[in-house]
């Protein structure tokens, strides 16, 4: 006897297979054959970096987007602080509607949108305090994918003042490299000018030698000289 069976993976994927039931030695036994898998169709991301730094008493953006291959319906997204404290929860009927609020912390505002290209479910935490530092988890559950769920985590650090990055070393390196490049360009220009002057000088010497050689032949009465070309006197 066969029937369908499904498993939810630890990271939110869904595995689908077939249950084969057979009896042996008086006891019923079951075995599931993993025929195919639909894994990780739902993905959640907080961006390229999972760390955010905020100034005390400022407002900070906690980014989060999700993607799904087969769409969604009655999708629920939840933000948790340090894995246990629920600070925002919303529900999205479908991709043509914006989220409806289920519950939220008074200092948290939803700033995303789910009717545009990216399914953006980012929030803003207002008037950040030092006690707000910690782990924030963006959790998404999509009933359309047999209850598939996935999450991503971002870590918030709260500081008294922003520390300016010392770029002295970087500026020195850039200055040295720029200076070397400038010297190289200057050297190449000087080289081209010197070669041009040398070439002009050599051409001038060649012209002088040719002219001097012609004058010598004329004075010595050699072939091609004016003495040869002079007509003989008549008798």
**Can you give the residue ranges of every domain in the chain?**
42-159
Residue 86 has pLDDT above 60, yes or no: yes
> Which residue has 């990216």 as its token pair?
118
d(CA 39, CA 198): 75
At 97 the pLDDT is: 93
pLDDT tier at 147, thresholds 50, 70, 90: confident
**Overall average pLDDT of the 126-133 stretch:** 96
What percentage of the chain has pLDDT greater than the value 70?
Answer: 69
At 101 the pLDDT is: 96
134 C-beta neighbours (distance < 10 Å), count? 13
Residue 12 has pLDDT above 80, yes or no: no
Q: Is 45 helix (H, G, I), strand (E, B) or coil?
A: strand
At 161-214, the pLDDT tens digits run 876 666 778 888 888 898 899 988 998 999 889 988 888 888 777 776 666 666
Name residues whose C-beta falls within 8 Å of residue 123's C-beta, 6 or more positions apart in sequence.
61, 62, 64, 79, 87, 88, 108, 109, 110, 111, 112
At 217 the pLDDT is: 54
At 100-121, the pLDDT tens digits run 999 999 999 999 999 887 899 9
d(CA 216, CA 209): 11
Name residues whose C-beta falls within 8 Å of residue 103's C-beta, 6 or more positions apart in sequence.
86, 88, 89
Q: Is 17 helix (H, G, I), strand (E, B) or coil?
A: strand
Residue 21 has pLDDT above 50, yes or no: no
**The pairing of beta strand 123-125 with beta strand 108-110:** antiparallel
Alpha-helical (H) ranges within the chain are 168-219, 226-229
| Residues 55/113, Cβ–Cβ less than 8 Å | no
At 161 the pLDDT is: 83
At 201 the pLDDT is: 83
pLDDT tier at 36, thresholds 50, 70, 90: very low
pLDDT tier at 69, thresholds 50, 70, 90: confident
Fold of 42-159: Immunoglobulin-like (2.60.40)
* More confident of the two residues 61 and 5: 61
At 218 the pLDDT is: 55
């Amino acid at each position: 006897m066969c029937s369908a069976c499904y498993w939810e993976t630890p990271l939110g994927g869904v595995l689908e297979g077939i249950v084969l039931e057979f009896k042996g030695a008086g006891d019923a036994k079951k075995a599931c054959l993993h025929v195919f898998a639909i894994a990780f169709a739902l993905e959640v991301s907080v961006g390229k970096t999972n760390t955010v730094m905020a100034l005390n008493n400022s407002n900070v953006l906690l980014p989060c987007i999700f993607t799904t291959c087969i769409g969604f319906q009655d999708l629920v997204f939840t933000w948790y602080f340090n894995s246990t404290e629920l600070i925002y929860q919303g529900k999205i009927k479908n991709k043509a509607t914006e989220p409806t609020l289920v519950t939220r912390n008074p200092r948290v505002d939803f700033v995303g949108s789910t009717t545009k290209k990216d399914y953006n479910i980012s929030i803003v935490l207002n008037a950040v305090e030092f006690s707000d530092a910690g782990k924030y988890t963006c959790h998404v559950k999509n009933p359309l994918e047999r209850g598939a769920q996935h999450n991503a985590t971002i870590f918030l650090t709260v500081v008294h003042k922003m520390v300016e990055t010392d770029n002295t070393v970087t500026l020195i390196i850039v200055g040295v490299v720029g200076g070397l490049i400038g010297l190289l360009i200057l050297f190449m220009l000087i080289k081209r000018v010197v070669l041009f002057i040398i070439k002009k000088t050599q051409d001038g010497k060649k012209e002088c030698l040719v002219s001097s050689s012609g004058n010598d032949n004329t004075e010595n009465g050699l072939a091609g000289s004016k003495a040869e070309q002079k007509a003989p006197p008549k008798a």
